[in-house]
Amino acid sequence: MTICAELLAALEAFRESVPDNRHAETASVDPYHIEPEVLAQIDAAIARAKSETSEHMSSLRVRVAAKSDEDARRISAVLVALGYEVERDMTLASSDSRVAWAALEIGAKFKLTERETHFVRQLLSGYSFDDLVPQFGISKATVKWHMHSVYTKTATNNLAELLLLGIRTLAGES
């Protein structure tokens, strides 16, 4: 429990223990001799604190460091399922993790297949089309076909535009 929440709980507990002097029949049993105006101020303070606490909690930001990109994806998925907005901060991540994250973001945003997403990752990592041929054990024509599909889905026309999309994704611009 935060200090603010502890103070609010203590104030509420105190308020509950004090009879309400605003009613004539309870005025004689008030051990604290608290004036009705003070009780009204306490009630108003409790209401304000509850309101401010809920507003603060809705804008609360929490930083979580994950050891791997896979762990970060799992944590993000859980937080999204719970209704939280997740913002990935890749500034402390390794360059491989940042590239992998950008490729996955592009893949998800543009509904790329797993293979197309893997191609994007390799290209963002600096591999050429010729490098993809032996890596995937496919022909150069098949690589070109997949890349044509990637360009179409991402609305890019060439590798330079795809790389720019990757940079913008890392910068949080797209």
Torsion of CA 168, 169, 173, 174, to 10 degrees: 110
Whether the predicted pLDDT of 2 surpasses 60: no
**pLDDT of 6-51, one tens digit each?**
566 666 666 666 666 555 454 444 454 555 665 666 677 667 766 7
Does 136 score more than 70 pLDDT? yes
User: CATH 1.10.10.10 in the chain, residues?
Assistant: 94-171
Q: Residue 120: pLDDT above 90?
A: yes
Q: What percent of the chain lies above the pLDDT cut of 70? A: 56
Confidence of residue 121 (pLDDT cuts 50, 70, 90): very high
DSSP 24: G
- 0.75 surpassed by pTM: no
DSSP line for 95-160: HHHHHHHHHHHHHHHTT--HHHHHHHHHHHTT--HHHHHHHHT--HHHHHHHHHHHHHHHT--SHH
User: Domain 94-171 has what CATH class?
Assistant: mainly alpha
